[in-house]
Structure 1
Amino acid sequence: MYVTEAGDEIFVIDSHAHVWDARPQNRRNHYGQTFIDTFYGAHVGLTPANRRWDRERFDYYGAQGAATDLFEDGYCDLAVMLPVYLRDFYVNGFNTTELCSTLKDLFPDKVILNGRFDPRDGQMGLDKLEEDFEKFRFNGVKLYTAEWNGVSRGYSLKDPFVAPYLEKCRKLGIRNIHIHKGPTTHPLDYDAFDVRDIDYIATSFPDLNFIVDHCGLPRIDDFCFIAGQEPNVYGGLALVASYIHARPKYFANMMSDLLFFVGPDRLLFGSDYAITSPQWIIEKFMEFEFDEETAQEAGTPLTLEVKRKILGLNAAKLYGVAVPSRFQASAVQ
């Protein structure tokens, strides 16, 4: 948890975290290097100089390193793990459910482990989803629509082979569908992360929650108007939050738009760990205030109550986490 100078206790859930292995021995080809190179470039460009990692640690930090960064130094009460396999680039996968589970093994009460699926895998993928669910009992999955899969370099959520997977999620009781809709990473294709297929599945599956990770950045406008009409669409602030240091005005403008169109109840804090770490982002977010003009544009001020919701309470509702009463927004009226 984070404690303010006034003694207010803030419950924190990092809703976007990974444990990855990008070491040279795990790279299948040069794309495995260019992918992690892009990530490291973002790390250096967005992270305060005194919080940056060296490249070796960035490639592989392991479960214990993640535990220190998230739970000891990073103020997080829980972390949501979002796997991204990328087996076309990495021999054993980049950030698999199994690798993320090594952190849950260390801290079972602090880790919300999610699964994943690739709907291009047909019946084999449906069987694997059910097998993984029986093993890990997750209630969320991560979709990475620009992931390469053989000759395919991405897919749309409007493709007919997607719906059977969402039906399977519905049947298994998996309600939280995280979808990467943000900037591209070399060599992935920009248009495969286009956010304009979200309304299609959100309307078709109103009983599922669609968490759009990165809020469609840089397509924030598209995301805002889609989420504004679809009550089961949420904004995952990973990467958006990371701009709070290097581009504070840009961050303010994005947050203003998100609060105006989506509101404070459907935005989830995420650090995108380990591209950036939660500690410094949370510190800066708790200190952050809109200027008068931006506050007017947002319509919703960044009060302590709003920050409580974004930093943990909204994610807790989605994942059924019981939050002690002292952390609730009503406690600070």
Structure 2
Amino acid sequence: MYRHNGENYFIVDAHVALWDARPENQRNIHGKQFIDCFYGYHRNLSPESEHWPYEEFLYQGGERLIKDLFVDGYVDHAIFQPALLSAFYRNGFGQTEEAFALAQKHPDKLTYNHCFDPRFEQKGLDRLRHEAERFQLKGVKLYTAEWQGDSRGYKLNEPWTYRYLEVCQELGIRNIHIHKGPTIRPLDRDAFDVADVDAAASDFTDLNFVVEHCGLPRLEDFCWIATQEPNVHAGLAVAIPFIHTRPRYFAQIIGELLYWLDEDRIQFSSDYALWTPRWLIERFVDFQIPEDMQGEYPPITVEQKKKILGLNAAAMYDIPVPAEAATTATAAGASSTSGPAEAVSVAAQPTEA
């Protein structure tokens, strides 16, 4: 738990990964292109003091993750959001067995989400049923731009994807995390477009669709969808590091999200190991909308920050929250914003222990 200025913040890092991008796991040049693009984001958006050597960035391992998140990083609970990328990596990019074993060893600290690809059709559906039981899945992470054979992406509103979402309903996998953000070389930018979230969210109202990276660079498109679909949430992975390099840009991002969605549908994510959570949490707790922008974006309150940093994801994943860290604010009436969010948001009630 992070304590600052007399306040307790329960931290849920809603998007972390263990990956292996070492040369021996790279299937082709695209594996190197992908991790090099990741490393570019890491170097360009991190303070110099937080830069990792390239060789360490290729593979972290569970011991370092535990230290970076839970010893040094203030995190109380973290959620694995893996990407397979088997067209680029021999044994996959996200390390399923290592991550799952770590989650089994530390169930109070880690939740393992898995991934599926609807282009595997019935064979993949059978595998999803097996993996849901084995991993006790509450959520999945989808990479709609992932390559598979001759295909360079798929959409959420395609027939086979709908069949997978129907099975998610059946199996109790309620949280659908989708990478809908900046492109990553060599993946195609348009395959990450947010438009297909609209239909899926409308047709599967009992599922939560967490749009990772809040649709960047299509923030406006995302906000217009999310304000109409109360089961659409925003993940701050990739967005929050702009708090360092482009604080006014981050103020615009978080200001727009608070206006359209309010604080009940926004989740903190470090996107580890692109970034480590410690400096992001410290910066966000201290962050405030610049005074000359407050005519359009009201100041961010402590209770809003508490929800974003952990209470929202804790409610979604039934993670117990110590009473001293829970906000006393009530649902929609707590927002200091005024706008469409007031009319359509569904509050994520924090769990009190």
Matched, 1:194 2:185: no
Distance 1:210 1:73, change over 3 A: same
1: CA distance, partners of 2:14 / 2:61 = 19
2:301: which partner in 1?
A: 303
2: CA distance, partners of 1:292 / 1:66 = 37
2: CA distance, partners of 1:3 / 1:261 = 29
1:324: which partner in 2?
A: 322
Matched, 1:217 2:225: no
TM-score by length of 1: 0.97
1: CA distance, partners of 2:269 / 2:40 = 19
Matched, 1:169 2:134: no
Q: How does 1:119-198 map to 2 (within 5 A)?
A: 119-198=118-197
Say which SS state the counterpart of residue 330 (structure 1) adopts.
coil
Alignment deviations for residues 253-302 of structure 1 (CA, whole Å, 9 cap, x no partner): 11111111111100000011101111101010011011234333234x31
**2:2 counterpart letter in structure 1:** Y
1:111: which partner in 2?
A: 110
Alignment deviations for residues 17-70 of structure 1 (CA, whole Å, 9 cap, x no partner): 000000110000010000000000000001100111001110011011111111
1: CA distance, partners of 2:278 / 2:329 = 24
Q: How far did residue 222 of structure 1 move?
A: 0.3
Q: How does 1:247-266 map to 2 (within 5 A)?
A: 247-266=246-265
Contact 2:35–2:58 (8 Å) recurs in 1: yes
Contact 1:211–1:236 (8 Å) recurs in 2: yes
1:207: which partner in 2?
A: 206
1: CA distance, partners of 2:295 / 2:261 = 15
1:3: which partner in 2?
A: 3
Q: How far did residue 321 of structure 1 move?
A: 1.2
Matched, 1:91 2:94: no
Matched, 1:46 2:39: no
Say which SS state the counterpart of residue 14 (structure 1) adopts.
strand
Q: Count residues with an aligned counterpart.
A: 331
2: CA distance, partners of 1:149 / 1:98 = 22
Contact 2:168–2:174 (8 Å) recurs in 1: yes
Q: How far did residue 96 of structure 1 move?
A: 3.7
**1:185 counterpart letter in structure 2:** I
Percent of residue pairs identical: 52
Contact 1:117–1:143 (8 Å) recurs in 2: yes
2: CA distance, partners of 1:3 / 1:255 = 22
Alignment deviations for residues 122-158 of structure 1 (CA, whole Å, 9 cap, x no partner): 0110011111111110100011000001111001112
2: CA distance, partners of 1:210 / 1:151 = 27
Say which SS state the counterpart of residue 56 (structure 1) adopts.
helix
1: CA distance, partners of 2:294 / 2:118 = 41
**1:320 counterpart letter in structure 2:** D
Q: How far did residue 331 of structure 1 move?
A: 8.2
Alignment deviations for residues 215-256 of structure 1 (CA, whole Å, 9 cap, x no partner): 000000000010000000000010111111011111111111
**2:182 counterpart letter in structure 1:** P
2:31: which partner in 1?
A: 32
Stretches of structure 2 lacking an aligned partner (at least 5 in a row): 335-353
1: CA distance, partners of 2:171 / 2:104 = 23
Contact 1:175–1:207 (8 Å) recurs in 2: yes
**2:32 counterpart letter in structure 1:** Q
Q: How far did residue 310 of structure 1 move?
A: 0.1
1:281: which partner in 2?
A: 280
- Answer with 105-114 or 165-174: which moved more: 105-114
Contact 2:248–2:290 (8 Å) recurs in 1: no
**2:305 counterpart letter in structure 1:** K
2: CA distance, partners of 1:296 / 1:103 = 46
2:69: which partner in 1?
A: 70
**2:9 counterpart letter in structure 1:** I
Contact 1:10–1:308 (8 Å) recurs in 2: yes
**2:266 counterpart letter in structure 1:** L
TM-score by length of 2: 0.92
**1:265 counterpart letter in structure 2:** D
2: CA distance, partners of 1:296 / 1:329 = 26
Contact 1:260–1:297 (8 Å) recurs in 2: no
Runs of 4+ in 1 over 4 A off after TM superposition: none
2: CA distance, partners of 1:124 / 1:302 = 47
